[in-house]
Structure 1
Amino acid sequence: MTAPKPAPYNFQIESSADARFPAEKGRYHLYVTYSCPFACHVLTARNLLGLEDFIGLSVAHPVYQKTKPDDEADEHKGWSFVDPEISATMTGANGKTYSTAGCIPDTVNHVKSVRDLYEKVDPVPRTFSVPVLWDKKTQTIVSEESSGILRTLDSGFRELVPSNVHLYPEELRAEIDAANNSIVMEVSTNIFKKVLSPSHEEAALAKAKVYEALATLDAILAEKCFLVGEGVTEADVRFFHMLIRLDVYQQKSEKHLTEYPNIVALSSAQC
């Protein structure tokens, strides 16, 4: 019988000084990789909210490599940390050589992989994902849930870092949730279905749904600059990181973003 996976870490940072994870400058560290859109949601939130000086950052290499290279019996592959100033290239698990430009090593725990970070807290097997929000004071993971991290960054530091940007404002939460769960989800889900569907018919149906959703979004953005409200919100952040990856999954004969001028205007900040 397979043991159940541990529950994901999903705690919040709060403004209260007596909270389990109180908002403090320099206490928390964020682990991401640029190849993961969910991690990029959180990284974007950190930057938009002006938290660069409050929350540290490590960026894992976007290409998987073996996380236990000295153990032949351990076949796990995942994200690893590398210092570009020490190694200009890295060999991935596929044997190919890649540049390490843009990577930021782990200067907090000095681990070699995201897996090592999780196992530092708990050796029980689990999915070793990013983003990870780390508490340097208690040496543990605050959260591994991208939506939870984005929202706790948006709310937890407001007393320390006032910001005109509010990604998940209370008065718009129902609309943001609706946008996330409908039109944005429709595009992202069917993009992957189109690529991964085992049959031509299923792939064609998914492709048609992508086109329909993009057309709907383009029509919405013809009337306004943002999906919800009068400023950037979580829905726009999610949508943006899906959009910039869209053409990678499209064949040359398929529609690309250039056919949706209002979406292009949003994704290139021309709105």
Structure 2
Amino acid sequence: MSKPAPYDFQIEPNVDAQFPSEKGRYHLYVTYACPFACRALAARNLKGLQYIVGLSVALPVPHKTKPNDPADTHMGWVFVDPEATPTITGIDGKSYSTEGCIPDTVNHVATVRELYEKVDPAPRPFSVPVLWDTKKETIVSEQSAGILRTLDSGFRDVVQSEVQLYPEELQTEIDAANDSVVADVTTRLLKKLMARTPEEAQAAMVFAFAAIEKLDEMLANTRYLVGQTVTEADVRMFHSLIRLDVSQQKHDEKHLTDYANVVGYLRDLYQIGLNSSVNWDHVKLGVESKCPVVIANGPFVDYTTAHKRG
């Protein structure tokens, strides 16, 4: 059976477009536990689209998406209303706070899986982020990179913003940064989160810090990865680095706090608006759920101290 093609369409500032920009028409589904979903959320917030594009936030720990069907073992992202359901019990028997979650006020579904099946019942991964068109009742995109870019460029006729995350004149350099230093750090984060033993997790961190040392040297000479302002390369890097910070243990030989330029860079990004795409409790739960052999002792960086950059 062939795998369904991914949803990967763009919103355009053109009334004749398949998905034209329009206030209140689109809705973003994320979880703070996922770095890729948080990249999309960061773009929405940095571009000032909070009142243009709606938002739902799933629990940071996957739950059964068909809890009443013993034969269906799928685990995925679920939505709850914190006011109605302040805690929820996972399949592991633990109780999880729902604070910080936002229910689905558009389709009123309980799971991300239901969103996908509302459009097409064919089996497929049920991932976030999801960008939803409320008029056509379909998925615009499930690709984090595509959503990040369409939120950056698709609403320029609706909201004026000085933020340009993927400016045309820097696209070649941004692509190069994404494929090199950003990919190096992100790949090592994912290897740690897929570790099956503490030893594997520690080995992944050794390789991670090799990349972080190079990053620290780079940031000694530049405020951001590309150009003079924040770009999508910084958004991507930020959400990988903070998860490495969270996933560290006190006894680790090296810490992000050992790298002054990286610390200042993270503080800078956090304080100019990326903090709105972070929920530390959800990030910690996401790390520990993804990799049970890791105890998330972080973050160790103080993100609110003055960054003294620029």
Give the TM-score band, short-chain normalised: over 0.9
Return the alpha-carbon distance in structure 1 between the equivalents of residues 206 and 32 of structure 2: 29
Counterpart amino acid of residue 104 in structure 1:
I
123, 144, 147: which is aligned to 1:146? Answer: 144
Partner of 1:41: 39
Partner of 1:65: 63
Paired with 2:102 and 2:197, the residues of 1 have a C-alpha distance of 41
Distance 1:258 1:201, change over 3 A: closer
Taking a change above 3 Å as real, the CA distance of residues 67 and 162 of structure 1, as seen in their structure-2 partners, is same
Q: Which residue in 2 is equivalent to 1:260?
A: 259
Structure 1 unmatched ranges of 5 or more: none
Return the offset for 1:15.
Answer: 0.6
Distance 1:58 1:201, change over 3 A: closer
SS at match of 2:170: helix
Is 1:167 aligned to 2:165, yes or no?
yes
Name the CA shift for 1:73/1:195 in 2 (closer, same or farther; >3 Å): closer
Q: Are residues 261 and 140 of structure 1, via their aligned partners in 2, closer, same or farther at CA, if it must alter by over 3 Å?
A: same
- Which residue does the alignment assign to 2:230? 232
Say how many residue pairs are matched: 269
Structure 2 residue identity aligned to 1:113: T
CA offsets per residue over residues 189-214 of structure 1, 9 Å max, x none?
12333554679998776444322211
Q: 1:117 to 1:198 in 2, by over 3 A?
A: closer
User: What is the letter of the counterpart of residue 263 of structure 2?
Assistant: V
- Larger mean CA deviation between 194-203 and 49-58 belongs to 194-203
One-letter code aligned to 2:260:
P
| Equivalent position of 2:216 in the other structure | 218
- Write the deviation string for residues 84-137 of structure 1: whole angstroms up to 9, x where unpaired: 010110111222101000000000000000001100110000000000000000
- TM-score with structure 1 length normalisation? 0.94
Task: Compare relative contact order (CA 8 Å, sep 6+) and give the higher one, 1 or 2.
Answer: 2
- State which of 125, 128, 132 in structure 2 corresponds to 1:127: 125
Kindly provide the amino acid, as one letter, of the partner of residue 260 in structure 1: Y
Q: For 2:236 and 2:162, locate their aligned partners in 1 and report how far apart those are by CA, in whole Å.
A: 19
Amino acid at match of 2:63: Q
Structure 2 partner of 1:79: 77
Moved more, 219-228 or 141-150: 219-228
| TM-score, with length taken from structure 2 | 0.83
Residue equivalent to 1:91: 89
8 Å contact from structure 2 (residues 30, 57) kept in 1: yes
Separation in 2 of the partners of 1:170 and 1:45? Answer: 17
C-alpha contact (below 8 Å) 1:10/1:144 kept by paired residues? yes
Q: Note the aligned Cα RMSD (angstroms).
A: 1.8
- Which has the higher mean CA deviation after the structures are superposed, 249-258 or 155-164? 249-258
Do structure 1's residue 181 and structure 2's residue 179 form an aligned pair?
yes
* Matched letter for residue 36 of structure 1: C
Structure 1 position 109 matched with structure 2 position 107: yes
* Alignment check: 8 A CA contact 2:31 2:59 kept: yes
3-state SS, counterpart of residue 221 of structure 2: coil
User: 1: distance between equivalents of 2:202 and 2:56?
Assistant: 39
User: Percent identity among equivalent residues?
Assistant: 64
Task: Tell me if the contact between 2:58 and 2:102 (Cα under 8 Å) persists in the aligned partners.
Answer: yes
Alignment correspondent of 1:8: 6
What amino acid sits opposite 1:247 in the alignment? D
Residue matched to 1:157: 155
Q: Which secondary structure state, in structure 1, belongs to the residue aligned with residue 29 of structure 2? A: strand
Q: Distance in 1 between matches of 2:192 and 2:41?
A: 28
SS at match of 1:268: helix
Residue 11 (structure 1) shift: 0.2
Kindly indicate whether the alpha-carbon contact (under 8 Å) linking 2:189 and 2:240 is maintained by their aligned counterparts in 1: no
CA contact (8 A) 1:77 1:93 kept: no
Q: SS of 2:85's equivalent?
A: coil
